Chain A
Amino acid sequence: MSKCPYHDPFAEKREKGPVLETEFDGDPVAMILGLKDVRKAARDWSTFSSEAPFRVPIPREEHLRSVRQFPIESDPPEHSEYRKIVEPAFNRPNELEYQLRMRSLIQEMITEVISLGSIEAISDFALPLQSRALTLLLGVPESEADVWIKWGVHVLRDRDGPTKGREMENYCMKAFEKCSSWEENNFFSLLNEATFHGRFLTDEEKLGFANLAFAGGRDTVINTVCLILAHLAHHPDDLERLRKEPELVNCAGEEFVRFATPLTHIGRKCPVDTEVHGVKVKADKLISLCWASANFDDTVFDKPTEIRLDRKPNPHVAFGNGAHTCLGAPHARLIIRTLLTQLTELVSSITYLSGQPKIEKTADYERVNSFESLQLRVNGL
């Protein structure tokens, strides 16, 4: 079992105390680090509120989008009502028909990359896979994925060049108009027909839902897919193990999501002056729930920097915890599990050629969070 020493930049911080006092956007942020503390805070929405448009993601996003995101940037009881509107769409991955479509999609894509010889895993596989899979979730024609792929890995945050946020919003406004010609109950028509407190949703609200569906489920899925491919390239024994013990797929999937924890942390606002494990947080300032630290908490996880396909229990919080637990999780889990199964059925081994890490540099930590680029060869059975 090897481990990547770059995977837990928070280990030393956790030794020093339960909270890392840092700053983002010139403002203090108290990051909560331990698994139990993070879970507790995630459930305490009255102390740690999501009623903070543009500030739940850290760094803040008002220059990247024009609308508040739903349901993530709201608190109960409104949050539960907003969330209910889109729940039917997000639960579709539980249907057998959906699972079969996902399987043929992933089969087709793996077969294609095998035939290509060497690939760049993000542009040739993970990004198109994520986009095409999203057409299933949103219930739109698969050809729409061609447009989304052009937005790049981070539709909102892009290191070089302008963000595609505006383009995505324009796309969504048009989608709300033309969605009646797509399959029944697609994501956009669901929002067109939805009511909240007896009225239809406003354009801003509808756009806020769509914005999150596109931005939230993008680099998270892409990063996890790349991590899985890189890991199996370095550890052919783990691919063999999954082939021999297919019942491990669900368990292994959870472990990859824990290890990847693509969303490092998420913000919450303190409505009043609050003391957080001894750290004073002023009214209207932020704390953050650091999923990436919590998932490597060695008081809960034995040897957390190791990837163990059979880790059980695995009470990770990569998908969050409490009222805002990731709505896209059934979809993301289906992608991951189907990918693992199909790799065992179609692929003999994966050759790692080269990779360039993507590093999240902040005032007080640097976190390697997946790959900027990743060259592989996927060898067929």
Chain B
Amino acid sequence: MAKLTFVTESGEEITENDATGNLMEIARQNDVDGIIGACGGVCSCATCHVRVKPEWMERVGRPGEDEQDLLELEDRADERSRLSCQIEMTEELDGLVVEVTPL
């Protein structure tokens, strides 16, 4: 079982104790505010933007090339930015915390 926590813009923490699938889908299942996932996870819309906590960045990894192209168009994106639809939950990521930052 892998634990995953979203911190929304208003500071609310939402934790899923048995997280499987990609982060955008998990957020949608848990009604996390600020994660919309409008395009259904095909890297079109950037409505599932999160910032990964610095201590987790290495394990989560950098955005892929496609994802980076999309993030570059966003003013509020920075070096901790990821599109949550592109992060697959694994046992290795047990305890992961991401901040929801609508773009």
How many positions in chain A have a CB within 8 Å of any CB in the partner chain? 20
Q: B40 near A250 (CB under 8 angstroms)?
A: yes
Describe B's contact surface by its main secondary structure.
Answer: loop
CB distance from A207 to the nearest CB of B (A): 28
Given contacts A36-B73, A39-B73, A43-B75, contact A313 B66 (CB under 8 A): yes
Residues of A contacting B50 in the complex (Cβ-Cβ under 8 angstroms): none
Residues of B contacting A83 in the complex (Cβ-Cβ under 8 angstroms): none
**Binary flags per residue of B3-41, CB closer than 8 Å to A gives 1, else 0:** 000000000000000000000000010000000001111
Residue of A94, A254, A315 touching B73 (CB-CB under 8 A)? A315
Q: A314 near B43 (CB under 8 angstroms)?
A: yes
Q: B43 near A312 (CB under 8 angstroms)?
A: yes
Q: A254 near B75 (CB under 8 angstroms)?
A: no
Q: B39 near A250 (CB under 8 angstroms)?
A: yes
B70 within 8 A of A: yes
Q: B46 near A250 (CB under 8 angstroms)?
A: no
CB distance from B33 to the nearest CB of A (A): 12
CB distance from A153 to the nearest CB of B (A): 26
A35 closest partner in B (C-beta): B73
CB distance from A217 to the nearest CB of B (A): 16
Q: Which residues of B contact A (CB under 8 A)?
A: 28, 38-46, 66-67, 69-70, 73, 75
Beyond A36-B73, A254-B42, A313-B70, 7 additional contacts (C-beta under 8 Å) are: A94-B28, A250-B42, A313-B66, A315-B44, A315-B69, A330-B38, A333-B39
- Residue contacts A-B, CB under 8 angstroms, 29 given: A35-B73, A36-B73, A39-B73, A40-B75, A94-B28, A250-B40, A250-B41, A250-B42, A251-B42, A254-B39, A300-B69, A312-B42, A312-B43, A313-B42, A313-B43, A313-B44, A313-B67, A313-B70, A314-B44, A315-B43, A315-B44, A315-B45, A315-B70, A315-B73, A316-B44, A330-B38, A333-B38, A333-B39, A337-B40
